[in-house]
Amino acid sequence: MEQQAIVRKLESILDLPTLPLVVDKVREAIRDVNADAQRIAKIIEDDPAMMARVLKVVNSPLYGGREPINSLQTAVARMGMNAVNNIAMSTSVFSTFGKEDDKLFDRKGYWRHCICAGIGAAIIYERCKANIKKRYTADVLHLCGLLHDIGKLVLVRYFHDDFLKAIRLADDEGLALVAAEKQTVGMDHAEIGGWLAARWKIPADLAQVVRYHHDPAAAPEEVRDLAMLCHCSNYICNLENLGSGGDAAAPSFQESAWTKLGLALSDISVIVDRITEESKKSEVLMAFV
Ligand SMILES: [Fe+2]
Ligand SMILES: [Fe+2]
């Protein structure tokens, strides 16, 4: 199928999952220059399920400090509006696509891969900070990881047979999954994920990371560092089978990203140990899957 035809098909999908309304409302409220913590907290509190999820995560070992956080207002005051917004978004993405499993697509393994990729991006960032111009918080890096492969969820649901063919083709011929998807579907999961992220009105820089996580050198300059972090973390998680990303046969590797971050292949084992350790703290996220 031609790329344009695929985008037309995507745009015509009537039951395409959306993020909960509360995520839209928080995003809008944050954009307001007069946004205040109380208002953001109130919007989330109006959705009790969302409130419970966010409180669970902010108190989990992944973010939790010594003092328990009992209210959204305290969460926003301590962590900031953007961090709480990112966590609200993170906890929502798990429920956007169904839970049904497929013989060739292990959904729990998929989410574990995404969680580990986010944790890995934060670990690599800490290691390579000196070579990165912008400053990032862990919630942003975790969210990048959670979202980077969302295109696969679209593929598995709406381009099911062609996607399974791509997984088989990648396995049989040792091809990169994105290359196999191009052959069988006509568009790869990074392109489709970038489209979905934009459609969900996820912040533009995150949508670009999703779009370029397999080719960070092609990413717009302002998001290149973030795309490189996600790319390297994704490579390590695929290589070391942390979760199952579906790219294990030939994980995508762009040497320039490693060089620019100042990362060496010999760093992998230390990073893997840290991801394994940190991911134990993320069980709270797996419980949402
Ligand atoms: Fe990917
Ligand atoms: Fe991935």
Neighbours of ion ligand 1 (CB under 5 A): 149
Residue 179: nearest ligand to its CA? 1
Nearest of 41, 30, 43, 46 to residue 74 by alpha carbon: 41
258 alpha carbon – ligand 1 mean position (Å): 17
145 alpha carbon – ligand 2 mean position (Å): 8
Neighbour tally for 220: CB within 10 Å = 12
pLDDT at 101: 66
pLDDT at 251: 84
| pTM reported for the whole predicted model | 0.94
b/e for 160-186, b at 16 or more Cβ within 10 A?
eebbbbbbebbbeeebbbbbbbbebbb
66 alpha carbon – ligand 2 mean position (Å): 32
Q: What is the 3-state secondary structure (H, E, C) of 180-240?
A: HHHHHCCCCHHHHHHHHHHHCCCCHHHHHHHHHCCCHHHCCHHHHHHHHHHHHHHHHHHHC
Residue 118: nearest ligand to its CA? 2
pLDDT at 40: 93
CA distances from 7 to 1, 124, 210, 268 (A): 10, 34, 16, 37
Query: Strand, coil or helix: what is 283?
Result: helix
Handedness of CA 58, 228, 207, 270 (dihedral sign): negative
Residue 114: nearest ligand to its CA? 2
DSSP class of residue 64 equals -
Handedness of CA 117, 123, 127, 130 (dihedral sign): positive
How confident is the chain (289 residues) per 10-residue block, as mean pLDDT?
85 89 92 89 94 94 88 93 93 83 81 96 97 95 96 93 92 93 96 95 95 97 97 96 83 94 96 96 88
Enumerate domains of the chain plus CATH numbers. Answer: 3-16+98-286 (1.10.3210.10), 18-96 (no CATH)
Query: Strand, coil or helix: what is 74?
Result: helix
144 alpha carbon – ligand 2 mean position (Å): 11
Where do runs of H (alpha helix) occur along the chain? Answer: 3-11, 21-31, 37-45, 48-58, 72-79, 81-96, 107-128, 138-147, 150-158, 160-173, 177-184, 189-199, 204-212, 221-239, 255-261, 268-279, 283-286
241 alpha carbon – ligand 1 mean position (Å): 14
Handedness of CA 80, 81, 86, 92 (dihedral sign): positive
pLDDT at 184: 96
CA distances from 154 to 16, 18, 77, 169, 253 (A): 8, 12, 36, 19, 24
114 alpha carbon – ligand 2 mean position (Å): 6
150 alpha carbon – ligand 1 mean position (Å): 8
pLDDT at 15: 87
113 alpha carbon – ligand 2 mean position (Å): 7
230 alpha carbon – ligand 1 mean position (Å): 9
253 alpha carbon – ligand 1 mean position (Å): 11
The amino acid at 259:
T
181 alpha carbon – ligand 2 mean position (Å): 14
Residue 152, token pair as written in the block = 């696969």
pLDDT at 191: 96
